[in-house]
Amino acid sequence: MRTQVLVQSLHIQTRRDSFAQWLACVNLAVLTKDANTHMAHYLNDEQRARIRRHLGEATHGEWQTWLVTAMVYGGWLAALLFHDALTLLPSTVILILCCVWYMSLQHEFMHGHPTRHAWLNKMLGYAPLAVWFPYTLYRETHMRHHQDENLTYPGLDPESHYIAPEVWRRSGRAMRALYRIRKTFWGRLAIGPLLAICGTLGSSGRRIVNGDLRELPMWLTHGALLAAMLYGVQRWTGMPWWHYLLCVAYPALSLAMVRSYFEHRAADDCKHRIVINEAGPLMRLLFLNNNYHLVHHDLPHLPWYLIARVYWADRNAYLSRCNGFLVHGYLDLMRRHGFTPIDEPPHPLARDRSRQ
């Protein structure tokens, strides 16, 4: 009888090990190449094997991402439903943090987490909690951002914060001042969202006016969902819709822009353009480890809860890979560049690239 039980236990353990190996292979296949053909870049075969082991250990359906998803939606709803009891200021702060965390989650969703079904991940991140940008547009532009050879170049990288030289030449004194202010830490928080919102709406609006209607259904869907959400927020929780827009959604986008304030710089080598920011634990959690930005660009489908582990296992190699582009946390950026531009708005290498 004992022998039979032992044999059955060995069979169960073998099945578990086989399942773990299968799951690791599936995850590694997804990690190696995403839906937009962005290849993973491993430092060496040893790192590839180590990541495979990490993925094999994570056999519980990405519970970490599901937990953060539940906390974001639950915290957002609780802050609205109980904002009278919490009073306005605490509930507003909670909502801001939930919206920032939600934007970090949307970034995870579009990179293939927590499921291997793109449609399901899209549904998880489609709600307009953060207001300003449709998920579909965010995903499309972000995938283009992952073409590392084009990083930071205006017109090629949709997330570039540099200005093309010809745009700079055409800009008046006031716009040049705004561009320079946006290059400071506090200017980024104050006017960065406004410039991003106006730029996105202006670009989409011009395409629609010129007869390119491909984005119109996306914007109509987003607008309808946003209107329904704001109506529900005011109707069933009592929070004014304008308060949510101006005092929740705008500050949330400002705080989210802290992460991207100096995550890229102009450089000849595309890997030298991508930062490693050794931020503190709270900011790492809020941004889901995207502060280790070079690791994310090298391994775009690596789940957020493994990024720090992968970075610290090969820290020196990554710092060499980005040519020492290291920031010691966001407070360091605030102290050094609170009112001092991080660099000049015109891209310093764009003219050289256009001549190639």
Is 1 within the bounds of a domain?
A: no
pLDDT of residue 199: 93
pLDDT at 6 exceeding the cut of 70:
no
Structure tokens at 252: 């949330």
Domain of residue 263: give its range: 32-354
Residues 6+ apart with CB under 8 A from 168: 176, 179, 345, 346
pLDDT of residue 25: 39
pLDDT of residue 18: 40
Backbone angles phi, psi at 163, to 5 degrees: -110, 135
From residue 218, how far is each of 105, 133, 138, 145, 248 by CA, in Å? 20, 10, 11, 20, 23
Residue corresponding to tokens 């009888």: 1
Name the pLDDT band for 64 (thresholds 50, 70, 90).
very high
Residue 129 contacts residue 74 (beta carbons within 8 Å): no
What one-character-per-residue DSSP string does 70-133 give?
Answer: HHHHHHHHHHHHTHHHH-HHHHHHHHHHHHHHHHHHHHHHHTT-S-S-HHHHHHHT-S-TT-SS
Least reliable range by pLDDT among 11-20, 138-147, 171-180: 11-20
- Write out pLDDT tens, residues 331-341: 999 999 999 99
The CA distance from 169 to 203, in Å, is 20
Please give the average per-residue pLDDT across 58-76, as a whole number: 90
Structure tokens at 319: 């710092």
Residues 6+ apart with CB under 8 A from 251: 96
What one-character-per-residue DSSP string does 165-206 give?
Answer: HHHHHH--HHHHHHHHHHTSHHHHHHHHHHHHHHHHHHHHHH
Is 20 within the bounds of a domain?
A: no
pLDDT of residue 38: 61
Residues 6+ apart with CB under 8 A from 125: 102, 105, 106, 109, 110, 135
Name the pLDDT band for 27 (thresholds 50, 70, 90).
very low
Is 44 within the bounds of a domain?
A: yes
What one-character-per-residue DSSP string does 277-311 give?
Answer: E---HHHHHHTTTTTSHHHHHHSTTS-HHHHHHHH
- Write out pLDDT tens, residues 236-248: 999 999 999 999 9
Residue 261 contacts residue 342 (beta carbons within 8 Å): yes
Measured from the Cβ of residue 207, the count of other Cβ atoms closer than 10 Å reads 14
Q: Phi/psi zone of residue 238: left (φ > 0), alpha (ψ -120 to 50 degrees), beta?
A: left
Is 15 within the bounds of a domain?
A: no
Is 8 within the bounds of a domain?
A: no
Residue 178 contacts residue 195 (beta carbons within 8 Å): yes
What one-character-per-residue DSSP string does 222-252 give?
Answer: HHHHHHHHHHHIIIII---HHHIIIIIIHHH
Residue 130 contacts residue 120 (beta carbons within 8 Å): no
Please give the average per-residue pLDDT across 173-181, as a whole number: 96
pTM: 0.86
Residue 326 DSSP SS3: strand
Side chain identity at residue 292, one-letter code: Y
| Helix H or strand E segment including 255 | helix 250-260
- Write out pLDDT tens, residues 75-93: 999 999 999 999 999 999 9
pLDDT at 280 exceeding the cut of 60:
yes
Side chain identity at residue 18, one-letter code: S
pLDDT of residue 33: 43
Residue corresponding to tokens 């030289």: 165
Side chain identity at residue 176, one-letter code: R
Is 155 within the bounds of a domain?
A: yes
Q: Which of 151, 132, 106 is nearest to 193 (CA)?
A: 132
Q: Tell me the percentage of the chain whose pLDDT exceeds 90.
A: 81
Is 19 within the bounds of a domain?
A: no
Is 25 within the bounds of a domain?
A: no
pLDDT at 54 exceeding the cut of 90:
no
The total of structural domains in the chain comes to 1
Q: Tell me the percentage of the chain whose pLDDT exceeds 70.
A: 87
Residue 263 DSSP SS3: coil
Residue 19 DSSP SS3: helix
pLDDT at 105 exceeding the cut of 90:
yes
Please give the average per-residue pLDDT across 13-36, as a whole number: 41
pLDDT of residue 198: 95
